[in-house]
Each structure stands twice: as structure tokens, then as C-alpha cells.
Amino acid sequence: MIQITLPDGSKREYDKPVSVADVAHDIAPSLAKVALAGKVVLTNQEEKLVDTSYLITEHVKLSIITGKDPEGLDLIRHSTAHLLAYAVKELFPDAQVTIGPVIENGFYYDFSYKRPFTPEDLQKIEKKMQELAKKNETVTREEWTRDEAVAFFLEQGEKYKAEIIASIPTNETISLYREGNFIDLCRGPHVPSTGKLKVFKLMKVAGAYWRGDSKNEMLQRIYGTAWATKEEQDHYLHMLEEAEKRDHRKLGRELDLFHMQEEAPGLVFWHPRGWTMWQQIESYIRRVYVENGYQEVRSPQIMDISLWKRTGHWDNYKENMFTTESENRLYGLKPMNCPGHIQIYNSNLHSYRELPIRYGEFGACHRNEPSGSLHGIMRVRGFTQDDGHIFCTEDQLQEECANFTKLLQKVYQDFGFTDILYKVATRPEHRIGEDSIWDKAESALMDSLRHGGYDFEISEGEGAFYGPKIEYTLKDALGRHWQCGTLQVDFSMPVRLGAEYVDANDQRRIPVMLHRAILGSLERFLGMLIEHYAGAMPPWLSPVQVAVCNISDAQKEYVEEVVSKLKQQGIRVIADLRGEKITRKIREQSMQKIPYILVVGDKEKEDGSVAVRARGNQDLGVMPLEKFIECLQDNVKNLKTNV
């Protein structure tokens, strides 16, 4: 008998092999109708996703996967990518298919075709996909030898697919999936029939090099999204519309914050209003440094390449570094600040009584990012990090890690973020240092989170080459995730650069080095803030906090008096004395997302008051100027995120 254990612990027995679909039907016919796949755990504890047609021949644990499961949504998207390729081949038989993986919120498929696909082509392809889905054609798995598959795809004129298969070892069985007239290479599993694919939309076409190599042919990548329900897709499409409105590049132009141009790719030209926001963030972080025992330092922009070789950066990171020469010496433009901070630490011999020593720097860094990856101020080549390094003893390591996480939570809350995700990135394949050191470093990070009561995920192999790290990820107003802060434990670089301290027994010891950043790249964090708040920054961050508008020329001198008093209180204010109607002034200043607009007419002039309008068309009424100043200063002092 074959015994199948279900998620609720109940068991079912069969006297012969049985398919996942049959088990689902036995549980409930309604479950069989929505079943997309199965998740089986074999007797050797191997877990795998399988098609509903998969025959169970031994004792297993079985879960039925539907569209409500994360795995089910991935299956829908993967199968929809195949449906896209099927539709393209139906409409454009000469097109060659390459690869079509699942990505976040959707999928894509790369094609080689003699001409660019147009928006009209996308509409035709999507319509054809809908027609093929309605046919409800069965999706079946077939197993071929590698050479059979290569010969088949070459005969079909699919040289890219044949090249992929030819790279697979000869002794491996090749699985292909067939639906109607279309057959494609795939490991699987897939939905049981095309009729399961009901909610999808093609989004755009972009270029992509074959196998990601710029030396190869440029292919056409069609992106799409797919969901289990129409409501989920509608929500996602609405979020995309909202994200487009909030795009920091668009708002950067509209609010006159910054610009970028071809002569300086990946570098930012900050305008006065944008730089004012930058300065507010920098001033805030500087206060955090002072309050938490950091000493602010400054290290050189360029250093001799020999230093970067000693740290290991040259061997592990040189493709991302800019270099320059002078007097027959090769220099590296710093991609990060840690080697400079060790030089500052090494300039004096330290006692254990001085530790921990915490350095902080607004360090200007440069990294040679590929041009295709640049994205406004979110991904740049020149950026500033709120970078810091802590030199401590091993006994102090746990406490320093825990304290940093608490500090980071407070900072994020002040910027309006309360939802933080924690990930521990472990040792990568290419790294420096012994495994025993990595064991110690990874344990320190994980234990600090466990003792703080924080749940965390593990990102296998995603650590830096010199040490593991905690990655702190924020969720914004649209539910998007942004990885910002990091905390890395490094036992290796202090050894390589000769960092020492004198212990209680007058013995020379090597400190542990913690690399930490709260915001990460200030450029990226500011771009994230712009999108999170849709440009309507909290009053303490807003480049202009108040606009004062007169109704007629008779109040011109009073406006100037009000502006002068506000400036004396450190308030960022502008006067709008144009000869326009007051309604137009209010509308235009509102479009600049200024937190407060003060309107003054003859009555306000006579009373020494102001009529206050808060962002969002809130009429706060008339009040004495002193009361308004008091309210605004309270808002700013307490870092409130709304007006």
C-alpha cells in the first residue's frame, strides 16, 4: 500500500500508483478543479514541486498547490510565460524563443525576431494568449534524451533553444512541456491546462543580450504580469500607476530638486531645493552620530592601489572600481570607506579601555555600475554613504550589533517607516578568511537578532567577500521593499591592515570591525523618500516649509515682515508677491507640495495674523503669526510626518 500524509496529518492509502490530481479529487472534487500542482516530501525528506499528473509510487507527504499559495502564483506566471511564447510562435512563426523565467510580479520571455515588436504587436499577442487559454489545452510533460532534443529544436530552426540544451550534460534526461502545437524546454512543473491561466497582461518590450553578454545578439524581451485573481491584478496595476506618479525622476523635475545629464552619467546635479533636503537628512544623521557615541571623520577620495590589494578589494571588486594614474602610480577611487577608516584607527595605538571606537563619515564613493543599471538617483555611479565603522573586542560584539539594530529602528521611525524586514546574508563563494571566522561572524549577527526578538530570513551566499551582514529592508507607502541599512561583521580586514589594540595584559590584540550604514546611499534614500511621500515631504524635511501670499499690493510690506520673522526662527520660507489672483497663487504653491501656505489680506495685516492653509487643502483658519510659528516648530522638533 502507498500511504500519503496530508498537511492536516490525515492519511490516505492506495493499492497502486496514484496521480496528484486523483488524490486532490479524493479529498474534494472542488479542490481538484483548482489544483495547479503538488508539493511532495519523499521518504528521504527530499521536497519537490510536481505536476498534477505526477504519479506517486511511494510513501510521501503531499500538499495540493492552488493559486492561493506562493508556489501556485509562481506556477501561473511560469506557465503564462510559456503561453506567451506559444502565442508569439503562432503569430510570428519565424521568431525564435530563448528563455522565459518568472520574475517579481510577473514574467518575461526573450525572442529573436527580424524586426522590433510594436505596441500593436503586443496587443495581438495578448489577444492570441487569451484565445489559447480559452481552448483549455492540456499541458503535458515529456522526457527526451539531450541529443534528441537538440536535433528537434535545430530542425525547428530554434538555434538558441538547441544551444541551451547542448550545454546540458549528455547523461541528463531533458524534460519538455507540450501544449497544443507548442513544445518548450522546461524543468517544470506547469499548470495542468492552459485554461488555468485567466488573469494576465503584457506590459512592455525591452532589449536584452543573449545570455546577458553585450557581445551577443540583442534580443527582444517581452514583460508580462499574471495573477490568480483579477482583483489582485487590478490592485497591482493601480499600484504601478501610483508608482509612475511618484517616480522620483518625474517629481525631481517638477519640484526642481535635481537633474542628471549625459555628460555625467550616473552623477547628480543637485538644485537648491534638492540640496536643502539633502542637508536636512545629513544634519539629522549628524545628530544621531553625536547622540550615539560616533566620531565623525573624513577619509581621502583616492588611495594607492596597493592599499586596495591589501584589503582584498582589488581581487574581489576591481571591475566595479574607477582608477586613475599620477606620476606612474595607480590609484583607486574609493568604492567604500572602510580602508580609510582603518588608516585613521591605525594612526594611534589604542587601549582596550577606548573600545568600542565608532567612526562615522558622509563618504563620497564611486562605483563603475553598468550604464544599463543606472536609474535616476536610485542607482548611480557617484554617491554618498552615511558610512560608519565600529572597532570593538569580541566580548563587545553582541552588544554593539544589538544596539545598532535598535538605533536603526529609531531612525527609520523618524523618517516614517515602521515595517522593517531583516535578512542575514551568509558567506559567498568568493571570500577571504577561514570558515571558523565566518562561523563566528554569522553567529554574532543571528544571535543579536534572536535576542532582540526579531524574525529574520537567511540569504545564502549573499554576504560581502569580507564578512556576513544583516540587511535591513523597509516597506514604503505602496508596499514596495527597499534594502537600506547594513551591518557587517569583519574579522579579516583588521588583520590585513594591521589594526591592533592593547588588552588588559598589555598584549597586542586585533579588534573586530563592524561595517554599518543606516540609510546607505543618501541619494538612493532621498529618492526613496520622494516616492514614499509622493514629493510631499514632512515639514522638517521639506525644502520650503512655508509660502506667504498676499492678496493685493497693499500687503506687500506685511508679507516681507512675516517672511523676515519666519527666517529669524530658522523656518524655510518664500514670498509670493506676484500680481496674480490669490486662488492661482495657492494652486501653484500647492503643486509644489509646500506644507503651509499663509494668505494675508488687509484684515490679517491689521491684526498681525495669518490665514493658514495646510497641505491637502486643509483650512486651519486665521491665527496670530506667533502661534503659527509655535505650531510649526513643534511639528519640526518632533519630526512629525504630516502637517
CA neighbor of 465 nearest in space, from 303, 320, 297: 320
Q: Is 600 exposed, middle or buried (0-12, 13-18, 19+ CB in 10 A)?
A: buried
CA neighbor of 625 nearest in space, from 607, 604, 606, 610: 610
Instruction: Let me know if 389 is a catalytic residue.
Output: yes
CA distance 15 to 500: 70
- The residue written with cell numbers 568604492 in the block is 335
Amino acid at 327: E
- Cα 517 vs. chain centroid, distance in angstroms? 16
Query: Which cell numbers in the block locate residue 92?
Result: 510570428
Residue 451 marked in a binding site? no
- In terms of phi and psi (left: phi > 0; alpha: psi -120 to 50; beta: otherwise), the region of 433 is left
CA distance 487 to 424: 9
CA distance 438 to 466: 9
> Partners of 110 in the beta sheet?
221
Cβ 546 vs Cβ 632: under 8 Å: yes
- Cα 178 vs. chain centroid, distance in angstroms? 36
Cβ 36 vs Cβ 54: under 8 Å: no
Instruction: Let me know if 338 is a catalytic residue.
Output: yes
CA neighbor of 126 nearest in space, from 216, 62, 222, 25: 222
Instruction: Let me know if 213 is a catalytic residue.
Output: no
CA distance 74 to 49: 11
The CA-based dihedral angle spanning residues 21, 23, 25, 30, taken in that order and rounded to the nearest 10 degrees: -90
Instruction: Let me know if 248 is a catalytic residue.
Output: no
Q: Which of 61, 186, 221, 338 is catalytic?
A: 338
Q: Which of 385, 555, 589, 592 is catalytic?
A: 385
Using DSSP's 3-state secondary structure scheme, residue 266 falls into coil
Residue 338 marked in a binding site? yes
Q: Is the dihedral of CA 383, 384, 385, 390 positive or negative?
A: positive
CA neighbor of 156 nearest in space, from 89, 85, 111: 89
CA distance 643 to 635: 7
Q: Which of 358, 515, 572, 585 is catalytic?
A: 515
Q: Which of 190, 389, 532, 585 is catalytic?
A: 389
CA distance 502 to 348: 11
Q: Which of 387, 476, 490, 576 is catalytic?
A: 387
Instruction: Let me know if 385 is a catalytic residue.
Output: yes
Q: Where are the beta strands (DSSP E) in 250-406?
A: 258-259, 269-270, 294-296, 302-304, 322-326, 329-333, 350-351, 357-366, 382-392
Residues 6 or more apart whose CB falls under 8 angstroms from that of 523 comprise 268, 377, 378, 380, 383, 384
Residue 515 marked in a binding site? yes
Cβ 221 vs Cβ 372: under 8 Å: no
The CA-based dihedral angle spanning residues 154, 159, 162, 168, taken in that order and rounded to the nearest 10 degrees: 150
Q: Which of 61, 128, 366, 469 is catalytic?
A: 469
CA distance 110 to 210: 8
Query: Which cell numbers in the block locate residue 613?
Result: 492653509
Q: Which residues are catalytic?
A: 338, 367, 385, 387, 389, 469, 515
Residue ranges for the known binding site are 338, 389, 515
Residue ranges for the known binding site for Zn(2+) are 338, 389, 515
